[in-house]
Amino acid sequence: MLIPSIDLKGGKVVQLVQGERLAIESDDLDGWIERFAKFPRIQLIDLDAAMGIGTNDSLVRRVAARLPCRVGGGVRSVGRAQDLLEAGAQSVIVGSAYFDVRRSAEEGGVIKHDFARALADAVGMQRIVAAVDSRNGRVVIHGWKTALPLSAVQAVKALETYCGEFLYTHVDREGLMQGTDLDAIKAVAQATGNKLTAAGGITTREEIDALDALGIDAVVGMAIYTGRLAVE
């Protein structure tokens, strides 16, 4: 299944290359809502909240009221997750908050198991999508700037009991429209029995179909916003 992505920054719909360089900016949020109205699932990310420089909560509520969304960006507490669900999100995407950069793998791992367990108990694991982002073979957090001493495969194995689904982003290809890494995605899929959605460079219908054949959903942003992939 194709899942279109709406990324919000500074009150606008945006697309960034490698999470940094602004490539597309649009004021037409309602237009994109209309365009995505027929899709069974939308991914909505508040980049300002993710970066800790504010929120786009009013826009999140506007989108969630009209589209079936899973919402991410800055979900660092149980309260924030509950707020997003109350705003209309079907599920929440949680990433960096699961990991503790102060602890090494040798010291018992970098996973915040207490937080992961508390969140799952509070909102239900089936309403949680755990985001695992990978660059150069290592999990990256904090806007993909901090690399951790574990792989995506290790991360999904550690988090499997706390969520209903994983979102795996292959950051090496994100926003470049040069295709994704199917082998890396398959390795993550084989490491968990949970549902998996993949992101990062997915550009063509052929890639989406190949992932779908494996039971993996595909999040697409840049290819849609540039017109490279015609969602109609």
Q: Which two tokens stand for residue 107?
A: 């010291």
Instruction: Specify the amino acid at residue 22.
Output: L
Q: Which of 46, 48, 57, 133 is catalytic?
A: 133
Q: Which two tokens stand for residue 156?
A: 């999904």
Nearest-10 crossing angle of helices 152-159, 182-190: 30
Q: Is 133 a residue of the active site?
A: yes
Residue 181 CA to residue 123 CA, distance in Å, equals: 32
Q: Which of 7, 46, 48, 217 is catalytic?
A: 7
The residue among 68, 62, 59, 58 whose CA lies nearest residue 89 is 68
DSSP 8-state secondary structure symbol assigned to residue 174: T
Q: Is 121 a residue of the active site?
A: no
Token pair 């960096």 is at which residue?
96
State whether residue 122 is helix, strand or coil: helix
Token pair 């194709």 is at which residue?
2
Residue 33 CA to residue 36 CA, distance in Å, equals: 5
DSSP 8-state secondary structure symbol assigned to residue 99: B
Active site members: 7, 133
